[in-house]
């Protein structure tokens, strides 16, 4: 990430895109503290096998969370654009499911963890299917299954679909696309192998171009939080109110993220963090806690498996501190975000209550506070708490214990 793309807003106070979340808001304070606790964690390096990604600023660090009532909270570099890379894969899988149905998609790509690296060259013996839609081979196939009679049409559907998940129109980073296309011989090899095996049909170079463009779509941490909240909410974007995919397709996607989303670190991730997630080599991680919220984290330095070092640590901290693990038997103690209909949420203050969803066309994000879309302030809704509970925020997050 170049200096001119860096967003200074964290130093400038509350950001427009999040709307008028007031100073001292407890959840923003919590996200600030997680970032502060991890600021000195400087292991890893940005990916460089795609040369353009090697230019990323390793100090960038953003953390956003979107609740199922469409409130977006964030800390740090939450509005800095970066390419989605593999974080695009679950959403394109969702679009393929919507366009082809689950059986036809699963006939072409498996749903089993590979236990191998994201770019591993291993197809299912006998069928030639890639193991799952979260590794490169599987994602090349799922992107070829999105509806469209030409590659341009198919990519237009992908770009529109990713935008519907994010709640705003998205664009491609042409420099990253060109860099990836010029150097993507491993993906090219995988695609030709799958074409030979019959699991990838059509013109291989055209299919690859769609996949490379999909990986080069620009998003922000705030976008990732909204996109994952859309999956967590069963396919409805909580900011725009738009149904993007069917509930069962959102469920299928979350299931595959839970088992395969962190590649050969997926088992450890599920054991320690316990939430469906997807990482990308730009340094992004998206997390969805079903029925609760979506998280977006961005920090370019990666560990050896291609996952963001600070992103992993931030998710560990959040999961540990708030008992977010899906397998936790004492689920009622999962503190953040109890269903609105059952309890007042401890994470919302009166001043941050959001107005009912406006039509998507009115939800453009601009630099003017008066047109901020994601968290329009209103008068307090009835029966809502005006102050966070006494135990909120919890004691300092400390270091990651898992
Ligand atoms: N893990 C990733 O984010 C990999 C995506 C990258 N575009 C690739 O194909 O290698």
> How far is the C-alpha of 328 from the C-alpha of 115, rounded, in Å?
24
Asked about 211 being catalytic, the answer comes back as: yes
> Which one of 80, 114, 217, 263 is the catalytic residue?
263
Question: Looking at residue 26, what is its pLDDT?
Answer: 87
- CA distances from residue 396 to 29, 311, 319 in whole angstroms, order as listed: 11, 18, 14
* Residue 86 falls in the annotated catalytic set: yes
CA distances from 277 to 61, 82, 174, 229, 388 (A): 18, 18, 26, 12, 28
From 84, 88, 135, 136, mutation site for ligand 1 pocket: most ligand atoms within 8 A of C-beta? 136
Residue pointed to by tokens 């009679």? 149
How many Å lie between the centroid of ligand 1 and the Cα of residue 85?
5
172 has catalytic annotation: no
Q: What is the predicted pLDDT for the residue at 357?
A: 38
Which domains does the chain possess? Answer: 45-345 (3.40.710.10)
Torsion, Cα of 173, 40, 36, 10 (10° steps) = -40
DSSP state letter for 261: T
- Pair of tokens at residue 147: 């509806």
DSSP string, 217-232: BEE-HHHHHHHHHHHH
Q: What is the pLDDT of residue 127?
A: 87
Ligand 1 center to 233 CA (angstroms): 26
CA–centroid distance, residue 176 to ligand 1 (Å)? 11
Active site residue 226: no
Ranges of the chain whose pLDDT falls below 50:
1-19, 337-402
Q: 282 C-alpha to center of ligand 1: Å? A: 8
Number of other residues whose CB lies within 10 A of the CB of residue 195:
17
Q: Closest Cα partner for 123 from 189, 204, 210, 72?
A: 189
Tokens of residue 32, six digits: 């600030």
pLDDT at 55: 96
Residue 52 near ligand 1, beta carbon < 6 Å: no
**Spatial distance between the Cα atoms of 73 and 293, rounded to a whole number of angstroms:** 11
User: Does the beta carbon of 373 sit less than 6 angstroms from any atom of ligand 1?
Assistant: no
Q: Please indicate whether residue 215, judged by its CB atom, sits closer than 6 Å to ligand 1.
A: yes
Measured CA to CA, the distance from residue 356 to residue 91 in angstroms comes to 25
- Core vs surface per residue 338-349: b (16+ CB within 10 A) or e: beeeeeebbbbb
CB distance 67 to ligand 1 below 6 Å: no
Q: Any idea what DSSP says for residue 119?
A: T
Residue nearest to atom 9 of ligand 1 (CA): 136
CB 246 within 8 A of CB 255: no
Q: How far is the CA of 252 from the centre of ligand 1 (A)?
A: 22
Nearest CA to ligand 1 atom 6: 85
- Ligand 1 contact via 118 beta carbon (within 6 Å): yes
The pLDDT value given to residue 324: 95
Q: Give the ipTM.
A: 0.97
8 A C-beta contact, residue 4 and residue 55: no
State whether the beta carbon of 214 lies less than 6 angstroms from ligand 1: no
Whether 132 is in the pocket of ligand 1, judged by its Cβ within 6 Å, is: no
Q: What is the pLDDT of residues 362-400, one digit of tens each?
A: 333 332 222 223 433 333 232 222 223 333 333 333 333
User: pLDDT tens across 142-167, in order?
Assistant: 999 999 999 999 999 999 999 999 99
Helical ranges in 295-386 per DSSP H? 309-322
- The order of strands in the sheet holding 72-76 is 72-76, 62-67, 293-298, 284-289, 277-280
Preceding amide of 7 cis, omega within 30:
no
Residue among 280, 282, 300, 312 whose CB has most ligand 1 atoms within 8 A, to mutate: 280
pLDDT for residue 330: 66
Tell me how crowded residue 373 is: count the other CB atoms within 10 A of its CB.
23
Q: How far apart are CA 42 and CA 302, in angstroms?
A: 10
pLDDT of residue 358: 37
| Residue 237, CA distances (Å) to 49, 229, 313, 358, 394 in order | 34, 7, 27, 12, 29
Catalytic residue among 217, 239, 281, 287: 281
pLDDT of residue 332: 53
DSSP, collapsed to helix, strand or coil, labels residue 263 as helix
């Amino acid at each position: 990430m170049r200096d001119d793309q860096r967003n200074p807003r964290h130093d400038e106070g509350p950001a427009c895109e999040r709307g008028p979340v007031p100073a001292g808001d407890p959840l923003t304070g919590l996200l600030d503290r997680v970032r502060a606790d991890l600021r000195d964690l400087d292991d890893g390096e940005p990916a460089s096998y795609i040369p353009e990604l090697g230019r990323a600023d390793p100090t960038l660090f953003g953390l956003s969370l979107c609740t199922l009532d469409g409130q977006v909270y964030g800390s740090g570099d939450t509005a800095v654009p970066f390419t989605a890379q593999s974080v695009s894969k679950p959403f394109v899988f969702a679009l393929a499911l919507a366009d082809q149905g689950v059986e036809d998609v699963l006939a072409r790509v498996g749903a089993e963890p590979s236990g191998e690296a994201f770019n591993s060259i291993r197809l299912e013996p006998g069928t030639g299917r890639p193991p799952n839609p979260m590794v490169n081979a599987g994602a090349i196939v799922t992107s070829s299954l999105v509806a469209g009679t030409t590659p341009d049409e198919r990519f237009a559907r992908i770009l529109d679909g990713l935008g519907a998940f994010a709640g705003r129109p998205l664009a491609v980073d042409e420099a990253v696309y060109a860099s990836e296309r010029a150097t993507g011989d491993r993906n090219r090899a995988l695609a030709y192998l799958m074409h030979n095996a019959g699991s990838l049909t059509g013109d291989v170079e055209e299919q690859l171009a769609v996949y490379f463009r999909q990986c080069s779509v620009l998003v922000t941490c705030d976008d990732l939080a909204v996109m994952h909240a859309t999956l967590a909410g069963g396919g409805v974007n909580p900011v725009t109110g738009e149904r993007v995919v069917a509930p069962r397709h959102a469920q299928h996607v979350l299931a595959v993220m839970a088992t395969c989303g962190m590649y050969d670190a997926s088992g450890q991730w599920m054991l320690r963090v316990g939430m469906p997630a997807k990482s990308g080599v730009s340094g992004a991680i998206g997390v969805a806690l079903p029925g609760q919220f979506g998280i977006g984290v961005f920090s370019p330095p990666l560990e050896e498996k291609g996952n963001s070092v600070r992103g992993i640590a931030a998710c560990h901290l959040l999961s540990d501190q708030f008992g977010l693990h899906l397998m936790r038997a004492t689920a009622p103690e999962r503190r953040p975000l109890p269903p609105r209909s059952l309890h007042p949420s401890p994470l919302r203050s009166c001043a941050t209550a959001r107005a009912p969803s406006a039509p998507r066309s009115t939800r453009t994000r601009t630099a003017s506070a008066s047109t901020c879309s994601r968290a329009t302030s209103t008068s307090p809704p009835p029966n809502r708490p005006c102050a966070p509970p006494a135990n909120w925020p919890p004691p300092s997050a400390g270091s990651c214990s898992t």
